Chains A and B, each alone.
Chain A
């Protein structure tokens, strides 16, 4: 059974959501709908759906929705395939997975092309795409052996899935190689790339770390690949 998880953002983008539903009905992929805004305990509800035999978890929302659900699923032992339907703005995770819009999404779900993806971790929270922080007053230590400093104002970005910005610069990050990439981009071709094989320690008592363009956490933080692998249904035009 398909379980569709609707975030509150679907209320704001009713037409988009409706277009996806129409395609799903045409393709005969209907299933149960769970509205996150109407339940108090997201974790308990999703766990219950998996116990009831959910075959695919389909998330309708943006990066924040995906991060929220991934943090629930990553703590569940069953590996139920996940699919993302981008609704509204801030959909870089869906974009990395080759799912550009709700119209394409229904067909990609139907094709069921599966990839296993390693999820990354920042302290006790999971993220799938990237995390970033301003370089101002930030100290970084990679694999407990060397420190990295940018001498110009920029952002430090740790990437698990290749996003569009990296893809255009021909920097590819595979979420299947157990390595994260620290990317520091300054003007022009002044780009740095460092593989993170064990962990990255971030220290900054002024700025917060942004996970998946949605969740902010304090430092110090230890960033690494987690031991959790999840299956995702992806599009042919995925960026990794």
Chain B
């Protein structure tokens, strides 16, 4: 008797296939760093076994902001207006605190037009994964400088940027974000670990991901080109992420690592490369970032993490169930309440 062996289909811990985590086909340029980031996002949500309906996706305007259509295709997404994604994400998470929010922005969308909402998002420590797909230029309007372009970078037409860049990571740390990292779209392993850590975190997780623009900003004069970043990438440490899924215990030799336990029991391991980098110190993080600017390096890794800090929703003392779907009995006070107010006005 012939037997056909059906190979077991690849699924994650909640029994979903990788395809569930994909979105529609990318319309960005071939080779765009943003597409690599999309792939890592898909992988991270798959690996972490997040139910797609529990997620809400947000973006502003720009090449980066198109990308939420390319992952988690069955998930609700909101493509907001330029630079204002943080407020839309905030509103949604206020309305439904059980959602896991992920916002994708760009360097123009964040550091120029969106800087106002960005800084207030960071200081609120809203539980949101905030990704900047950072190429130092405006791709969708054909390559103008953004505020993260390095001093001295040159546009294709020869224009030189004379202004200093805004370091979104330093800013986020200063303002109160509780998980701040920088990575490179081409660094699969590091980016995946940082994304998985961000998914497990309960607070603002800000990831600035250098993502070269193959069309407008991948030439010799650019400090955000693929080759420039490859040559100047200085990983702060090797980041590994160990998820916590209840009964799965991972035995890991700490060796020369710093370990951070996230709110759900997951652990982030940072392998120390130099003088005992401490990701829980704001001062140390800012020093490292400042030094890297002086040395013309792009330092990557997890700069700062703080667990156990109350996030914005905790501070607001909102009920556990989504505000959006509370029944009428919970949101319309009884007649006695109105009577009491009326009596006080007589």
A and B are interacting partners: no
Residues on B facing A (Cβ under 8 Å): none
